[in-house]
Amino acid sequence: MIFILINAYACSPSMGSEPGMAWNWCTNLAKYCELYIITEGEFRDKIEAALPTLPQGKHMHFYYNPVSEEVRKMCWNQGDWRFYKHYKKWQWKTYEMAQEIIVKQHIDIIHQLNMIGFREPGYLWKIDKPLVWGPVDAKEKFPTAYLKGAGIKANLFIRLKNHITGLQLRYSRRVHKAVQKASVVISASSESQKSLKKYFHIDSPLLNETGCYPKTTIINSTKEKDDLNLLWVGKLDFRKQLSLALKTIAQLANPQIKLHIIGGNNNSYQKLAMELNISHQCIWHGVIPHHEVQGLMRKADVFFFTSIAEGTPHVVLEAIGNNLPVICFDVCGHGDSVNEQVGVKVPLSTPQQSINDFAEKITYLFNHRDVLKRMSENCKARQEELSWDNKAKQMISLYKKVLSQ
């Protein structure tokens, strides 16, 4: 058995985003490894309650490095850059804790797991042990061509962040030292692969940061139906580009194509639908429980995902898990997860060109229900490829390769 020391700032059962991602990695790796996991203490109660229920729980040993409630609020308030100062301090304390653990426990590999952003590599690279870092999100820039409608504050924030990202990729000493010391740096997306090659001159294996649990779902046959039901799920902010989806529906000018929208209240999008004269084709579900989202996925014909700035969105994997073909941009983790067997992708370009591209693809699917049915049938095999168990096995292979070097 391989003994792994994992640094996972955010880790919790029954959650999405970074905490759920780290928890799923740990619970699946623990089937094959002995894990010593340093995490922040916000979700300690959930972790301690879940461990006894897992057969592999005996192979998961948690160490807690808690921060204040104020810092926790900064962490989950995306865009609050004050957090990074506290996060850096947390990483140093984690480095000190790791040194103590290594004195008491046999450790083969150190794994810097999350947060997945490249900006803060921590300090575990200073320890004289093989280091695995990743999956790492090292995308270069937010595509500014899609910032129209984002507002002045968001525009300035994104452009400043793009500039800082470029500087950090080029000049951050700790990032460069961590990359140099790491036995392997894993990319969270194809874009990150390219970025790591460009700025650090390394070949980085691709392993998206999140996975799925395959399930048996009845395939929704659209062959005999007249309507085509598209489903859109997400926060109603500019990064998700709901306006592109609405304008695509307007351009299609086909009353048999319906768009179901799940997400928080934002009247500006409903107003846009009215201005585009497509209100009769839009069904606004608002924020609904997770099981209801799953139910709508099973009834829909196509998952229409217009986000342009993500890691690997779990909602796309859920769509595939419900045998729901996906149409999306060929970017980020969803660009890697959706292949031609289970969906169609369009390149980033300009907003109007994207509307044209999406409209063309949706028209094709509307007229070729046999293609949609085949994509639905292919989702089962894709679930297995994207499964957490498969990803854990890929990570174990990387561990073994590192130890053989």
DSSP 240-252: G-HHHHHHHHHHH
The per-residue pLDDT for range 318-335, each reduced to its tens digit, is: 999 999 999 999 998 899
* 260 pLDDT higher than 80: yes
Interatomic CA distance for residues 279 and 259, integer angstroms: 10
Kindly state the percentage of the chain with pLDDT values over 70.
Answer: 98
Segment 220-239 mean pLDDT:
81
Q: Which pLDDT value is given to residue 312?
A: 86
The structure tokens listed for 151 are 């507002």
pLDDT of residue 143 exceeding 90, the answer is no
Which domains occur in the chain, in start order? 2-137+172-211+388-404 (3.40.50.2000), 228-385 (3.40.50.2000)
pLDDT at position 217 is 67
Q: 224 pLDDT band (50/70/90 cuts)?
A: low
* pLDDT tens-digit readout, 145-163: 898 877 888 888 889 888 9
Average pLDDT over residues 29-55: 97
* Residues 248-259, mean pLDDT to the nearest whole number: 97
The pLDDT of residue 152: 87
Q: What average pLDDT does the segment 64-72 reach?
A: 95
Cα 112 to Cα 74, 85, 179: the distances in Å are: 22, 19, 11
One-letter amino acid at 25 equals: W
Write down the pLDDT at residue 293: 93
pLDDT band at residue 80 using 50, 70 and 90 as cut-offs: confident
Give the lowest-confidence range in 242-251, 266-275, 297-306.
266-275
Whole-number pLDDT of residue 17: 83
| Helix, strand, coil percent content, the chain, rounded in steps of 5 | 50, 15, 30
Please report the pLDDT score of residue 264 as a whole number: 82
pLDDT at 272 over 90: yes
- Strand 282-286, strand 302-305: pairing: unpaired
What integer pLDDT is reported at residue 220 of this predicted model? 62
Evaluate if residue 232 carries a pLDDT over 90.
yes
Identify the band that residue 77 occupies on the pLDDT scale cut at 50, 70 and 90.
confident
Residue 67's pLDDT band (cuts 50, 70, 90): very high
Residue 108 burial (CB < 10 Å; 0-12/13-18/19+)? middle
Q: Tell me, what's the pLDDT at 218?
A: 66
Mean pLDDT of 241-250: 96
- pLDDT at position 219 is 67
pLDDT reported for residue 222: 52
- The kind and range of the H/E element at 325 are none
Lowest mean pLDDT, pick from 2-11, 179-188, 261-270: 261-270
| Count of CB atoms situated within 10 Å of the CB of 224 | 6
Q: What is the pLDDT of residue 236?
A: 86
**pLDDT tier at 200 (50, 70, 90 boundaries)?**
very high
pLDDT-derived band at 337 (thresholds 50, 70, 90) equals very high
For range 217-238, the mean pLDDT? 79
Determine what percent of the chain is predicted with pLDDT higher than 90: 79
- CA–CA gap between residue 345 and residue 329 (Å, rounded): 5
Tell me the average pLDDT across 7-31: 94
Q: Which two structure tokens, joined as six digits, stand for 57?
A: 């729980």
